[in-house]
Amino acid sequence: MRFVKMHGLGNDFIFVNGFEEKIAERDYSELGKKLCDRFFGIGGDGLVFILPSESADIKMRIINSDGSEAEMCGNAIRCFAKYAYEQGLVDKTKITVETLAGIMGPELILENGKVVAVRVDMGEPRLNREQIPMLGEPGQVVNEALEVDGNIYMITTVSMGNPHCIIFVDDALSFPLTELGPKVEKHTSFPRKTNVEFVQVVNPSEMIMRVWERGAGNTLACGTGACATLVAGVLTGQTDRKAKVHLAGGTLEIEWAENNRIYMTGPATHVYNGELDLTLI
């Protein structure tokens, strides 16, 4: 099976071109677990399939490294758009991509014919508790207390098609993310688990964010998480509607436009092409 390794700010993915490689859908989860393993497989935060779509130009399916399927992935979709364009699977710079979170709209930013960045229309944030989903009374979850092991954390939740729980902290870099992250990810309040973002507001147009990803753990960046973080910054009155989000792997620019849609701009990087004998793993 041929594959391509790409990353968006160090959030790394294995891409499989489903137009050429015929993989049965029932094998997606098992393959995701195996191929994403950094010791016995290729290594990656997720496995992404590029597939034909009936409702958009092209379709993306993403399997987390634990074999679960994510509705959406902000970093992967930038890589996805670059790959689809460069491989000639689409012939325009503004495309529509079907995902489990709805149809997204990446736009390639070219310089001298090369893709230098991708701006993605990530759709509208979903703010009602049942849309996250999170248990409890209907309404928005903004600065609400969540108890974990007897400690109280103030959380704000946002769905970008996938669930995010944002916790504002004084110092994101030294926060014990690997301790608290998995406990919030699997907290009983979140029936489909959640991605967890630890965020420090530097000023109204800049934030530092660390992420504990649902199904993937501590990763270097999270595109949907950066979008959810900007929304949480606005809802809590701490940031402007346009801000830079600094992640371990680099910076994303996020805007919550007046049309209620979120636009994310950032890089997408090709690392290498490979070929794998599936009978060996």
Q: Alpha helices, DSSP H only, in 37-148? A: 74-86
12 is an interface residue for ligand ZDR by CB under 6 A: no
Least CB distance to ligand ZDR at residue 150 (A): 27
Among 84, 132, 216, 262, binds ligand ZDR (CB under 6 A): 216
70 is an interface residue for ligand ZDR by CB under 6 A: yes
- The two three-digit tokens of residue 137, written as one number: 């009374």
Least CB distance to ligand ZDR at residue 138 (A): 23
- The two three-digit tokens of residue 267, written as one number: 């890089």
266 is an interface residue for ligand ZDR by CB under 6 A: no
Nearest residue (CB) to ligand ZDR, 151 versus 188: 188
Least CB distance to ligand ZDR at residue 88 (A): 25
Nearest residue (CB) to ligand ZDR, 37 versus 204: 37
**29 to each of 9, 55, 182, 226, how far by Cα in Å?**
24, 24, 21, 26
d(CA 70, CA 84): 20
214 is an interface residue for ligand ZDR by CB under 6 A: yes
Active site residue 36: no
Least CB distance to ligand ZDR at residue 268 (A): 11
123 is an interface residue for ligand ZDR by CB under 6 A: no
Q: Residues 6 or more apart from 159 whose CB is under 8 A from it? A: 125, 126, 127, 131, 132, 133, 228
The interface region with ligand ZDR, picked from 107-115, 139-147, 173-181, 209-217 by CB under 6 A, is 209-217
185 is an interface residue for ligand ZDR by CB under 6 A: no
d(CA 36, CA 42): 6
- The two three-digit tokens of residue 102, written as one number: 């709805």
Q: Residues 6 or more apart from 184 whose CB is under 8 A from it? A: 146, 148, 153, 155, 165, 167, 190, 194, 196, 212
Nearest residue (CB) to ligand ZDR, 62 versus 169: 62
108 is an interface residue for ligand ZDR by CB under 6 A: no
157 is an interface residue for ligand ZDR by CB under 6 A: no
Active site residue 222: yes
**180 to each of 36, 149, 177, 236, how far by Cα in Å?**
24, 10, 5, 22
Least CB distance to ligand ZDR at residue 246 (A): 15
Q: Catalytic amino acids?
A: 73, 222
